[in-house]
Chain A
Amino acid sequence: DQQVKQNSPSLSVQEGRISILNCDYTNSMFDYFLWYKKYPAEGPTFLISISSIKDKNEDGRFTVFLNKSAKHLSLHIVPSQPGDSAVYFCAASALGNQFYFGTGTSLTVIP
């Protein structure tokens, strides 16, 4: 059973606009969330994280928002750049244990 879900398999955005990638989870014990970025033929690389004690974390063009009551998090990329085109995975963990990943969203930023 998928505990972390990314319901949009793909997303296309114009360069310079905002990209919003969404993630939902079912386990209320999850207290730490991460986003990973994956280019073709490479392993996923860490992008940004957020702890459940926060509702927002920002790192340059990337911002992650957490809505605990809705069990929802989102990644905003502003402004989007062609180099951001990749597959984005969200992940969650509970009490420092294993990470559960979603199915990924393929982002294409159109120049």
Chain B
Amino acid sequence: DAGVIQSPRHEVTEMGQEVTLRCKPISGHDYLFWYRQTMMRGLELLIYFNNNVPIDDSGMPEDRFSAKMPNASFSTLKIQPSEPRDSAVYFCASTHRGRLRGNTIYFGEGSWLTVV
């Protein structure tokens, strides 16, 4: 079974440009999370969806960040305009409702973003 798939794996962009990160959750999972990893805050939850509906976006740092989940198998995290301080690793993760309480969430390999 394929895991959580993220693209691109690496992105280098210039300040002010739009960045779109993509995620395909594990089939059958109804929860999807976007995390950002930084040295200062570790794995920071940005937003999460349940059944394609955003449940909590309080972690989204600014209005420059937006996320969508148009269907159960696809989500995007967009930064517009991007800034150097957005440089980080962005992880997508998913899980099934029955496992949310019991066990674990599954992470993708991450998208490494560098804004110059």
- A residues sitting closer than 8 Å to B (CB atoms) are 2, 6, 32, 34, 36, 41-46, 49, 89, 91, 93, 95-104
Contacts and interface: CB of A to CB of B under 8 A. Distances in A.
- Across chains A and B, which 10 residue pairs bring their CB atoms closest together, nearest first? A103-B42, A43-B107, A96-B101, A101-B43, A46-B104, A43-B109, A44-B107, A104-B42, A96-B100, A43-B108
Most buried by B among A6, A34, A36, A99: A99
Contact of B91 (A34, A43, A95): A43
A32 B44 CA distance: 18
B11 to A, nearest CB: 15
A98 B33 contact: yes
Interface string B42-82: 11110010000000100000000000000000000000000
Contact of B40 (A41, A95, A100, A103): A103
A46 B103 CA distance: 9
A2 B45 contact: no
Contact of B109 (A34, A36, A42, A103): A42
